């Protein structure tokens, strides 16, 4: 059901017009129906296997130099596929307009983060926005709409200067807005995030090798209210196995929804995973008084790990587009945090 | 290929076959439309018949080999109303490893379990209707569990024998009573706080006033377990065991329409994925384990067969199918769809096996010596193409263990056509290069009675309808160009 023709026209005009460097795309031109059928054959491109996926266009700042490429990759396709200097670590499945991505980027400047979205035009928006944000971070003198800059990190980590040799701190910031931190200070300069159009319900194992991801976010998924449609939910008993397969032991899967029924369904799917995931109880990740920020670090179950989980949950609650919408609407947010446990021993 | 035959009489081929050993005798099970024949190979007679239609099955079994009632089920199944046509065509036959039961799946998604007596009598023990069309059916080695993979990508396990047929668990009944007692209001999962648009809010308001008209579809009323799920149509499934440190490890390997071959642990840990065999760029329709090895062969919409070390999920080689059968393809860009793969024994050899591959609508069966696949360069394995006189191969079975009699069901619709053929793989002969080729010869003592069997069991059918029923593999191919913009 396309709208009136001039709407379509405006969209095309907006997308085709030459944009100034760092100009953010306008969301209204990229909106798309919120539902996609995960069972149908979308015109998707995906690699036959993870070793054939070329991530270098997604993360140009993290391309491995020749010497870093492991020599043992002997298969033909592996030898020819360009490599990154590290593995992707965080996946936001169903990233929508990418709110979480932009919030996570400066938190984990050394981790590669990927947003996955099935809707073409929404993916395109996120692509454009990432490019714009990278440009802004690279060259802070072009900041057409600095106030719109998404998550601003209060952390004062220095930017990864070795990633962008061109990035030199500007001599003077022309008009530094008092609240905004100069994007040149955004750790990672958004070079560590990217977006891919994909149907993860079908092709997750094509994209990620086993035990590679340390975090998966499943934020405000399509609730698929009808019982008949429950198989189309992004968390289901069958898919929990696949999430477990691509995750490292110790990795964390996060779920959030404003639909209680869906929350209970997702919980039962993770709980029924036969010991592949264990629930991280709410007292670990519920926000505590007088604590803000963290400095990443520990992957164990210690204090640092708990603080990191807590921060992730906070970001997921507050920074996702849908999360903000639910807050505006006064809705409830149901959070689930699941820790990947090692495969059980054979019986 | 049936163009020369006038359109008057078209005979239904045997779409699935299987072999079975009972009471010291060999039986061939052959499905013809909705009917299943048990044919005694030694006695050269039809031992019994069974029809998936409840009313017909009684008549059929009591009449024994009455030929007069032949056309009744055929006529019935043409009426499209499900209720008035209980006879549904058979889409799969599996014999339990202990040879005592046959699992028959019909087009109406019903799983029938039949008992086989020592003289080949078939008696239906149970009928279970699955929620989605079963695409892959296996009986576990213990002969007590059936695995069923369906069109929705789910794999269920069911006990072979339904323990207490009529006794239902008390819980659903109580629920039914409850829902009858109070005129329950539909309780939507959404709240005014979860939906955002005005239209959604309005819909929610009206939903709240709505009474539950259709009661929730009752979950499967028989014992079953959901083992694993793909978000894709399941196409094939095999079960494997390995012994590690004196313990048996079970595996389930599943293939789907979206190019995946998944290696999962067997029950009760089927939720643990051990790996994926990924390399196909088109659907995978068939997977087949090579006995005594860790090899798995996969085939589908690609021009090659994948040879895998399935325990390590490593592709060892691609066997070029197109090269082997190019002379049989109607045109150079004709696409290949592997519709069947079977392992059959080489005659008079202990534990020597050959892989048979059928491609949809291709009038030939491809034989590959399994020992060649084990060697260093499986891609060079010699391929022997056995042509079947214009009739495409529908199914393959073998009987007699190592004696190696291979039965091939062919889509020959001529009245005097040969719908079943017996051949023997009589070992390898050395080719000029070190490659070995297989000798395949017709097994004459059986071919005459098989011809008779096929001639007497024809069913009148419509050519196009029959094509639609028999040839579904190529439909697994994705039709490109479709995108979400077309989605309403």
A294-304: pLDDT as tens digits = 444 434 478 89
Residue B235 belongs to a domain? no
Inter-chain Cβ pairs, chain A and chain B, closer than 8 A: 122
- Per-residue confidence (pLDDT) for residue A162, from 0 to 100: 38
Rg (CA), chain B: 24
Residue of B nearest to A205 (CA): B276
Query: How does residue B439 score in pLDDT terms, banded at 50, 70 and 90?
Result: confident
Confidence of residue A40 (pLDDT cuts 50, 70, 90): confident
> Does the pLDDT of residue A164 top 90, yes or no?
no
* Residue in chain A lying closest to B265 (CA): A346
pLDDT given at position A294:
47
- Chain B residues with CB inside 8 Å of A202's CB? 231-232, 258
Q: Is residue B362 part of a domain?
A: yes
What's A254's domain CATH number? 3.40.50.150
- Domain tally, chain B: 1
Rounded mean pLDDT of chain B?
A: 82
Total domain count, chain A: 1
Tens of pLDDT along B402-421? Answer: 667 899 999 988 877 888 89
Q: pLDDT at position B455, please?
A: 64
Binding site for S-adenosyl-L-methionine, residues of A?
A: 94, 117-118, 199-200, 219, 320-322
Q: Which of A222, A261, A283, A295 is catalytic?
A: A222
**Average pLDDT, integer, range A28-56:** 86
Chain B residues in contact with A245 by the CB 8 A cut-off are 273
Return the pLDDT at B5: 42
**Confidence bin at B460 (pLDDT 50/70/90):** low
Does pLDDT of B458 surpass 60? no
Nearest CA in chain B to A229: B152
Do the domain assignments include residue B159? no
B225-229: strand order across its sheet: B134-139, B145-150, B154-159, B225-229
A32's tokens: 């798309």
A260 to B272: CB separation less than 8 angstroms, yes or no: no
Binning pLDDT at 50, 70 and 90, where does residue B431 land? low
Domain that holds residue B320: 282-476
Q: By residue range, what is the domain housing residue A126? A: 19-165+180-340
The alpha carbons of chain A give a radius of gyration, in whole angstroms, of 20
Confidence of residue B220 (pLDDT cuts 50, 70, 90): confident
Would you call A331 an interface residue with chain B, using a CB distance cutoff of 8 Å? yes
**Interface contact A210-B482, CB threshold 8 A:** no
Angle (nearest 5°) at CA B222 between B33 and B260: 65
Chain B residue at shortest CA distance from A206:
B278
- Please state which of the ranges A142-156, B123-137, B296-310 shows the lowest mean pLDDT: A142-156
pLDDT at B55: 47
Q: Is A178 on the interface with B (CB under 8 A)?
A: no
pTM tops 0.80: yes
Assess if residue A10 is contained within a domain.
Answer: no
Give the tens place of pLDDT for each residue, B374-396.
876 777 777 889 999 889 999 99
Whether the predicted pLDDT of B429 surpasses 60: yes
CB contacts of A32 in chain B (<8 Å) are 484
Say yes or no to pLDDT of B82 above 90. no
- The answer to whether residue A345 is domain-embedded is no
Q: Decide: residue B367, CB within 10 A, 0-12 exposed, 13-18 middle, 19+ buried.
A: buried
Q: Is A41 on the interface with B (CB under 8 A)?
A: yes
Condensed to tens digits (0 to 9), the pLDDT of residues B192-214 reads: 776 567 777 777 777 777 666 55
CB pair distance less than 8 Å for A37 and B280: no
B481/chain A closest Cα distance in angstroms: 6
Residue A174 maps to a domain: no
Structural domain includes residue A4:
no
Of B249, B271, B278, the CB nearest to A49: B278
Percent of chain A with pLDDT over 70: 78
Residues of A in contact with B482 (CB under 8 A): 40-43
Question: Is A283 annotated as catalytic?
Answer: no
Instruction: Nearest by CB to B484, from A42, A210, A242: name it.
Output: A42
pLDDT of residue B488: 34
CB-CB under 8 Å, B193 with A331: yes
The answer to whether residue A11 is domain-embedded is no
Three-class SS state of B201: helix
What is the three-class DSSP state of B353? strand
Instruction: Compute the distance between CA of residue A65 and CA of residue A84 in angstroms, rounded to an integer.
Output: 8
What's the average model confidence in pLDDT over B261-286?
96
Residues of A within 8 A of B188 (CB-CB) are 225
Give domain status of residue B482, yes or no: no
């Amino acid at each position: 059901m396309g709208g009136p023709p001039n709407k379509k026209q405006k969209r095309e005009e907006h997308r085709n017009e030459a944009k100034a460097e760092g100009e953010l795309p306008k969301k209204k031109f990229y909106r798309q129906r919120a539902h996609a059928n995960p069972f149908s054959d979308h015109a998707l491109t995906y690699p036959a296997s993870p070793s054939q996926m070329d991530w270098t266009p997604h993360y140009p700042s993290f391309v491995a130099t020749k010497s870093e490429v492991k020599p043992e990759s002997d298969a033909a396709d592996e030898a020819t596929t360009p490599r990154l200097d590290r593995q992707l670590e965080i996946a936001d499945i169903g990233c929508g307009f990418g709110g979480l991505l932009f919030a996570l980027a400066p938190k984990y400047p050394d981790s590669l983060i990927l947003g996955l979205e099935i809707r073409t035009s929404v993916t395109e928006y996120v692509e454009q926005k990432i490019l714009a944000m990278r440009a802004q971070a690279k060259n802070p003198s072009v900041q057409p709409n600095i106030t719109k800059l998404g998550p601003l990190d209060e952390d004062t980590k220095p930017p990864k200067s070795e990633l962008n040799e061109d990035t030199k701190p500007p001599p003077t910031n022309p008009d530094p807005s008092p609240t905004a931190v100069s994007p040149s200070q955004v750790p990672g300069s958004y070079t560590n995030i990217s977006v891919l159009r994909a149907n993860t319900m079908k092709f997750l194992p094509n994209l990620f090798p086993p035990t590679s991801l340390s975090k998966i976010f499943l934020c405000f998924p399509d609730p698929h209210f009808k019982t008949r449609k429950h198989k189309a939910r992004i968390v289901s008993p069958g898919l929990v196995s696949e999430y477990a397969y691509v995750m490292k032991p110790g990795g964390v899967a996060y779920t959030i929804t404003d639909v209680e029924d869906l929350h209970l369904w997702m919980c039962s799917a993770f709980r029924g995973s036969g010991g592949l995931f264990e629930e991280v109880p709410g007292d670990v990740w519920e926000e505590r008084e007088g604590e803000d920020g963290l400095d990443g670090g520990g992957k164990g179950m210690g204090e640092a790990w708990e603080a990191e989980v807590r921060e992730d949950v906070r970001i997921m609650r507050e920074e996702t587009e849908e999360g903000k919408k639910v807050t505006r609407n006064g809705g409830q947010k149901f959070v689930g945090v699941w820790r990947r446990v090692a495969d059980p021993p054979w019986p | 290929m049936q163009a020369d035959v006038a359109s008057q009489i078209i005979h239904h081929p045997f779409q699935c076959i299987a072999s079975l050993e009972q009471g010291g005798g060999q039986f061939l099970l052959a499905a013809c439309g909705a009917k299943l024949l048990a044919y005694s190979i030694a006695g050269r007679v039809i031992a019994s018949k069974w029809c998936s239609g409840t009313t017909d099955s009684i008549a059929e079994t009591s009449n024994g080999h009455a030929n007069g009632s032949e056309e009744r089920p055929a006529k019935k199944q043409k009426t499209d109303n499900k209720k008035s046509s209980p006879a549904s065509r058979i889409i799969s036959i599996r014999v339990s490893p202990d040879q005592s039961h046959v699992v028959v799946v019909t087009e109406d998604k019903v799983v029938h379990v039949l008992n086989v007596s020592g003289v080949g009598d078939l008696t239906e023990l149970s009928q279970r209707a699955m929620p989605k069309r079963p695409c892959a059916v296996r009986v576990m080695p213990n002969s007590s569990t059936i695995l069923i993979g369906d069109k929705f990508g789910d794999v269920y396990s069911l006990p072979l024998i339904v323990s207490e047929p009529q006794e239902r668990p008390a819980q659903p009944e109580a629920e039914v009573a409850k829902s009858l007692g109070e005129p329950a209001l539909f309780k939507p999962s959404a709240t005014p706080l979860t939906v955002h648009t005005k239209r959604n809010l309005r819909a929610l308001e009206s939903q709240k006033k709505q009474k539950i008209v259709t009661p929730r579809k009752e979950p499967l009323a028989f014992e079953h377990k959901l083992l694993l799920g793909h978000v894709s149509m399941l196409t094939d499934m095999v079960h494997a065991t390995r012994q590690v440190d004196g313990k048996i490890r079970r595996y389930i390997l599943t293939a789907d329409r979206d190019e995946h071959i998944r290696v999962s642990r067997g029950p009760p840990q089927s939720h643990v994925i051990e790996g994926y065999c990924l390399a196909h760029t088109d659907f995978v329709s068939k997977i087949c384990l090579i006995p005594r090895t860790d090899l798995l062969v996969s085939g589908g919409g690609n021009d090659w067969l994948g040879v895998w070390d399935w325990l390590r999920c490593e592709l060892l080689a691609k066997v070029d199918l197109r090269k082997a059968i190019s002379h049989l393809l109607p045109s150079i860009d004709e696409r290949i769809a592997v519709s069947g793969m079977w392992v059959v024994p080489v005659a008079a050899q202990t534990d020597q096996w050959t892989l048979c591959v059928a491609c949809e609508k291709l009038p030939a069966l491809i034989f590959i010596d399994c020992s060649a696949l084990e060697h260093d360069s499986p891609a060079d394995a010699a391929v022997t193409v056995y042509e079947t006189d214009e009739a495409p191969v529908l199914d393959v079975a073998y009987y007699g263990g190592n004696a190696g009699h291979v039965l091939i069901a062919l889509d020959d619709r001529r009245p005097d056509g040969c719908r079943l053929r017996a051949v023997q793989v009589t070992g390898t002969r050395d080719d000029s290069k070190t490659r070995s080729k297989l000798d395949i010869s017709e097994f004459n003592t059986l071919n005459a009675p098989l011809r008779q069997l096929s001639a007497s069991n024809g069913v009148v059918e419509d050519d196009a309808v029959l094509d639609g029923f028999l040839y579904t593999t190529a439909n697994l191919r994705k039709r490109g160009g479709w995108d979400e913009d077309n989605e309403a």
